[in-house]
Amino acid sequence: MSVTQHSWVVGFIGLGSMGAGMAHCLLRKGFPVHVYARRERTLEPFTAQGALTAPSPAALGAACDVVVLSLPDAPAVEAVLFGPDGLAQGLKPGTFVIDTSTIAATSAKEFGTRLAQHGIHFLDAPVSGGQAGAQAGTLACMIGGSANHIAAINDVLSAFCQTITHVGDLGAGQTVKACNQVAVAAAMLGVADALALARAQGVDPNIMRDVLLQGSARSFPMEKHAPRIIQESFEPGFRARLMRKDLRLALDTANASNITLAATPVIEHLLDTLCNDGRGDLDWCAVALEVGKTAGKAS
């Protein structure tokens, strides 16, 4: 199978469960890709596919036209950008940094402002679709920044995103991602409650799910996560500790905006209990185990 040759040289930092899939998509699409990771073993699957390695973020930045980040939180993004041998020391004016991490909108704006002083274009581009979507290249991206800049690097984003939506100025991508997590979390809480109620009343949860999928209760968590909850199959996926982090960002944003969210604090508390009990690396749908405890006590 032939692949298209691209003029952009792309760097990638953050080769975890999401980033690995995205980086492999770029390689499959024919982009020249440079990768950096602190552990050499992490790089092996990518060098086997043709990626080049860099000894530091600064060296990677100097070699690339576009750099994609997929990191766990704002401190990690800041360290990669501005720490010792950070990207900012190597990036050339006119370079693009696409941050697919989920961080606070305020952090995205700050990082963008600092990089702009050096002529570097920063785009906040959080993604949705999970590990499977990253591997398949079918993620949805909500992106904040200049429309012209987004158009310029559209082919890079298209390598791992099926849907790319410009949602506003820098920081808007992170705000929409927070809204996504809030909405998904509330739907998951409803699914967990429904499964607990069905079990408490002696109704087969599989039958209950089949019925609900035919009506207005149909949702992504009901369709994709309910079978895993019923089977107690919680291999990640998207880890509970990461969803807890995302919901805390949403709650911080809400507090800063002087609004009170209803369902989000409830599921954040349940996820916190799950994580504090040593189960933070389970898929986040394992939050249903905490919901189910009440039903178990009643049965």
293 labelled catalytic: no
3-state class of 83 per DSSP? coil
Quote the tokens at residue 296.
């178990």
Which candidate, 236, 263, 241, places its Cα nearest to that of 182?
263
Please, where are the H alpha helices in 87-171?
Answer: 105-116, 130-136, 147-152, 154-158
| Residue 273 CB-density burial (10 A; 0-12 exposed, 13-18 middle, 19+ buried) | middle
- For β-strands 139-144 and 127-128, DSSP reports them as antiparallel
Measured CA angle at 181 (ends 179, 187), to 5 deg: 105
Catalytic residue among 29, 92, 109, 177: 177
Task: Give the span between the Cα atoms of 296 and 299, in whole angstroms.
Answer: 5
Task: Give the span between the Cα atoms of 70 and 59, in whole angstroms.
Answer: 18
Active site members: 177
